[in-house]
Chain A
């Protein structure tokens, strides 16, 4: 399915959300962080927790817990050319699927999904496998991300350092 396909049995809010999530995934694989930034609502949070059961993210240590300010700083860092992990970041391809709605209404969709991301750098492929939860608000300005939570299945073990976004 893509942006122009028929809904193929999905409800309209879910289909719109899936199209949005795929668009987001492509922007991240292209490392088009400026356009990715525009997908967010001002009060949105991008979270990569450590504890697989975490829900109160502010009360725990996370890998990333970014409000608008931290997202802006992170993007500046990734695009500055001076962060060697980002300047020489892995190429990535990610597949997002297994969409299951958590909340569906005309103006708000929360959806769980599975992400298989493969990074490639220095002759090595590295997998980053995660459960995602997107909360997307559909308003007058179009869809905006209110929260994205990336729960890596190996979050409590040692990860490879990242020069890109999950």
Chain B
């Protein structure tokens, strides 16, 4: 390894971007409240941030509330079917106009003085308007709208009016989003519930984890012991050289754990379906052709990869992982379960049972992740001038023709991609 880098003492001339130096990172990125504040402005309020999936907003009036950084927003489908993302803040004195997680509404009314807004954010009415004659124009005071971009059903929003088109931002990740959605096995993807949990640690600790294949057999030993041999074998990618991590630009990356499930449409017939799903195969076979049964059962574990989209969402095998930075030392995470919209109930229920097994605060996997991450947060306060290492696999990383950097799935290529984007955005 190179000589240790010196991040300290920091001076007023030290830029935040200097705290990421190639494959080593200063631990103050996890602990410094000032850095967190700058991240809100330079990252979360500047780029595309995931807020919803289209299946959560099927009908006009359907809404959900979300957070972008510290700012509360409402994601709502209006009468014309358009998805709007609105600041959840009355234009009068700033109260939130909606406190529900989700629902259906004809509009939003502030509880404080009853200013009421349409699904498109327009200010429709306010009581006792004579006090405002020649003072305000209602047309000037809608709920503020964010830029909205949708790709593959994934809804992103941005406070940055000048942001590049979503498709450009996603770039090489779009191909992997398309592959991910194939787990619908011919049906559209829908969300079917979510686990929310929080841990006492910085958001980037979770961001790193999505393409961290190195931790899996260590942290998730008891999960692997609790599943059938076939699932355990499916997830034994540590020495599989087909199991790779790939940087995709703009901070995005993908880690392939199950190479044969990258493209679920590709099936050479050699894969034995898992015995644990035989009752599902039997039930589906009553009214489906064998190829469709096989297609659905092969997709029950989701796609064979974790796609990490900078800065806040991952499409992770069979679920979406959404992170929400609460403070420099606290992060909330949602694990959103997915199913086949209009697909067979027995298979969608099995997908929920698989989700419960690993995910969430009571799962066999997530609590151990959270424990490791809290240890990172605690440990990061020790060690000024002792950098966080994300250099695993530098010795075997190579560059693909399209510019993606590629290495083994246990390597830290994805983390380096995320920190390169962090550095770029923090420099601007």
Q: A73-B226, A161-B199, A161-B367 are contacts. A61–B192 as well, Cβ < 8 Å?
A: yes
Q: Is the interface of B mostly helix, strand, loop or mixed?
A: helix
Q: Is the CB of B352 within 8 A of A60?
A: yes
Which candidate, A37-45, A100-108, A109-117, A151-159, is the interface stretch facing chain B?
A151-159
Instruction: Tell me the B196-249 residues at the A interface (CB within 8 Å).
Output: 196-199, 219, 221-223, 225-226
19 A-B residue pairs with CB within 8 Å = A60-B352, A61-B337, A61-B356, A65-B353, A76-B225, A77-B223, A77-B226, A83-B222, A84-B371, A86-B222, A122-B378, A156-B101, A158-B198, A159-B196, A159-B197, A159-B198, A160-B361, A161-B369, A162-B367
B111 at the interface (CB under 8 A from A): no
B31 at the interface (CB under 8 A from A): no
Partner of A161 from the list B101, B337, B355, B371 (CB cut-off 8 Å) is: B371
A85 at the interface (CB under 8 A from B): yes
Query: Complex Cα distance A88/B378, Å?
Result: 15
Q: Is the CB of B221 within 8 A of A82?
A: yes
A131 at the interface (CB under 8 A from B): no
Query: Complex Cα distance A86/B362, Å?
Result: 11
Partner of A61 from the list B101, B193, B333, B372 (CB cut-off 8 Å) is: B193
Q: Is the CB of B193 within 8 A of A74?
A: no
Considering only CB atoms and an 8 Å cut-off, how many residues of chain A contact the other chain?
A: 32
Query: Complex Cα distance A88/B370, Å?
Result: 12
Q: Is the CB of A88 within 8 A of B225?
A: no
Q: Is the CB of B356 within 8 A of A88?
A: no
A59 at the interface (CB under 8 A from B): yes
Query: Complex Cα distance A63/B362, Å?
Result: 6
Q: Is the CB of A84 within 8 A of B219?
A: yes
Q: Is the CB of B360 within 8 A of A63?
A: yes
Partner of B370 from the list A76, A157, A161 (CB cut-off 8 Å) is: A161
**Chain B 357-394: CB-based contact to A (< 8 A → 1; otherwise 0):** 10011101011111110100010000000000000000
Query: Complex Cα distance A60/B194, Å?
Result: 10
B138 at the interface (CB under 8 A from A): no
Q: Is the CB of A76 within 8 A of B193?
A: no
Give the chain A neighbours of B101 by CB distance below 8 A: 156
Sort A-B residue pairs by CB-CB distance and give the 6 closest, nearest first.
A61-B193, A85-B367, A161-B370, A161-B367, A63-B362, A158-B196
A97 at the interface (CB under 8 A from B): no
Give the chain B neighbours of A82 by CB distance below 8 A: 221-222, 225
Q: A77-B364, A158-B332 are contacts. A63–B226 as well, Cβ < 8 Å?
A: no
A80 at the interface (CB under 8 A from B): yes
Give the chain A neighbours of B372 by CB distance below 8 A: 84
A: which residues have CB within 8 A of B? 48, 50-51, 58-65, 70, 73-74, 76-77, 80, 82-86, 88, 122, 156-163
B349 at the interface (CB under 8 A from A): yes
Partner of B356 from the list A65, A86, A160, A163 (CB cut-off 8 Å) is: A65
Partner of A83 from the list B193, B356, B368, B374 (CB cut-off 8 Å) is: B368
Q: A63-B356, A76-B225, A76-B226 are contacts. A163–B367 as well, Cβ < 8 Å?
A: yes
Q: Is the CB of A163 within 8 A of B355?
A: no
Query: Complex Cα distance A80/B372, Å?
Result: 17
Give the chain B neighbours of A64 by CB distance below 8 A: 356, 362
Q: Is the CB of A161 within 8 A of B366?
A: yes
Q: A61-B352, A63-B356 are contacts. A161–B197 as well, Cβ < 8 Å?
A: yes
Q: Is the CB of A163 within 8 A of B371?
A: yes
Query: What is the chain B residue whose CB lies nearest that of A78?
Result: B222
Give the chain A neighbours of B334 by CB distance below 8 A: 158
Query: Complex Cα distance A59/B360, Å?
Result: 18
Query: Complex Cα distance A160/B364, Å?
Result: 14
Q: Is the CB of A63 within 8 A of B225?
A: no
Q: Is the CB of B361 within 8 A of A161?
A: yes
Query: Complex Cα distance A141/B364, Å?
Result: 31
Query: Complex Cα distance A159/B194, Å?
Result: 12
Q: Is the CB of B222 within 8 A of A61?
A: no
B301 at the interface (CB under 8 A from A): no
B122 at the interface (CB under 8 A from A): no
**Chain B 287-300: CB-based contact to A (< 8 A → 1; otherwise 0):** 00000000000000
The smallest C-beta distance from A126 to any residue of chain B, in angstroms, reads 10
Query: Complex Cα distance A158/B193, Å?
Result: 13
Q: Is the CB of B195 within 8 A of A48?
A: no
Give the chain A neighbours of B199 by CB distance below 8 A: 160-161
Partner of A157 from the list B196, B345, B349 (CB cut-off 8 Å) is: B196
Query: What is the chain A residue whose CB lies nearest that of B333?
Result: A158
Q: Is the CB of B368 within 8 A of A85?
A: yes
Q: Is the CB of A61 within 8 A of B195?
A: yes
Q: A77-B226, A160-B361, A162-B361 are contacts. A60–B371 as well, Cβ < 8 Å?
A: no
Q: Is the CB of A160 within 8 A of B371?
A: no
Query: Complex Cα distance A82/B225, Å?
Result: 10
Query: Complex Cα distance A48/B195, Å?
Result: 12
Q: A62-B356, A83-B368, A163-B371 are contacts. A50–B362 as well, Cβ < 8 Å?
A: no
Query: What is the chain B residue whose CB lies nearest that of A64?
Result: B362
The smallest C-beta distance from A57 to any residue of chain B, in angstroms, reads 10
Instruction: Tell me the B162-208 residues at the A interface (CB within 8 Å).
Output: 192-199
The smallest C-beta distance from B59 to any residue of chain A, in angstroms, reads 20
Give the chain A neighbours of B194 by CB distance below 8 A: 50, 61
Give the chain B neighbours of A122 by CB distance below 8 A: 374, 378
Q: Is the CB of A63 within 8 A of B195?
A: yes
